[in-house]
Amino acid sequence: CQAAAVLDQLAREAVPGVEEVTGRPGARVYRRALRLPYGTGIAAVAERTRAPRPGSGVHPSGWLDARLHLTDPRDLTTAVQRLRRLFDLDADPYAIDERLSTDPRLAPLVAARPGLRVPGAVDPLEAAARALLGPAGCGRLVEAYGKTLDTPDGTLTHLFPEPAALARPEGVPAPLAALAAALADGTLRLDPGADRDDAQRELLALPGMDAATAALIRVRALGDPDVTPPGVQAPDAWRPWRTYAVQHLYVAGESAP
């Protein structure tokens, strides 16, 4: 598992009170609070690396070591599934790399970061709010509307607010309030089983929503592997993995997030 770039991004985007990344590169730990169907949980995902033999020409590899503290053991499967989506562990890195390596612009980037993943989300509303407001704005929402954990764990003190808590005209930015209301009443679906095109149409119909933010939500909340943000020239050779192509450009500093 090539997790370094994902952890870099999660560290930059961490919402105070809900998640954190600690430790040095190669041995970092991502921690977060989870709202689950039967209770709550604290997840700790540690980065483990395996150095190749000297002179082998093989890139460093590794794995993720996850530990879950759940208030109800019935939530185990759901918690694992959400972490897999967050770290994009169900992607097929071999198929993606094989396709993107045929493009002269992407080939050296793929060679430098084989198996690059795209961060997803454990909570679609949190992903959408982060796209609209950024981590600091989300942190203010958590302070105002998030549920305090019964047993805080270090810097993890809150759960991210539920849609009904943010579907209010006062105190919440209008685009996010409209999005939360659409999630709360079922008009908008951003869960893994949602139709991505339907979701994008509903997103773009919301007041204050632009195409770039909708594209980011489609990537992070819906896990769409073939999204190109407005303004990025993406040849057909990148299909059906344009999301990963753009991620390579972003991590290499050749494209805006």
The pLDDT tens digits for 202-229 are 999 999 999 999 999 999 999 999 999 9
Amino acid at 91: A
Q: What pTM, to 2 d.p., does this model score?
A: 0.92
Tell me: the pLDDT tens digits for 79-138?
999 999 999 999 999 999 999 999 999 999 999 999 999 999 999 999 999 999 999 999
Q: Which of 51, 42, 47, 65 is nearest to 7 (CA)?
A: 47
CA distance 127 to 219: 10
Specify whether 45 is located in the same domain as 132. Answer: no
CA distance 227 to 186: 24
Residue that terminates a domain, selected from 44, 70, 90 = 90
Is-contact 30 144, C-beta < 8 A? no
Specify whether 131 is located in the same domain as 174. Answer: yes
Amino acid at 130: R
Within a domain: 119: no
Stronger pLDDT, 168 or 55, i.e. the higher one: 168
pLDDT at 56: 52
Within a domain: 230: no
Within a domain: 52: yes
Q: Between 242-251 and 4-13, two packed helices, what is the crossing angle to 10 degrees?
A: 80
Residue that terminates a domain, selected from 37, 66, 90 = 90
Within a domain: 211: yes
Residue 199 sits in which domain range? Answer: 124-220
How many independent structural domains does the chain possess?
A: 2
Pinpoint the alpha helices (H) of the chain: 4-13, 76-86, 93-100, 107-112, 124-145, 163-166, 174-185, 196-204, 211-220, 242-251
Within a domain: 180: yes
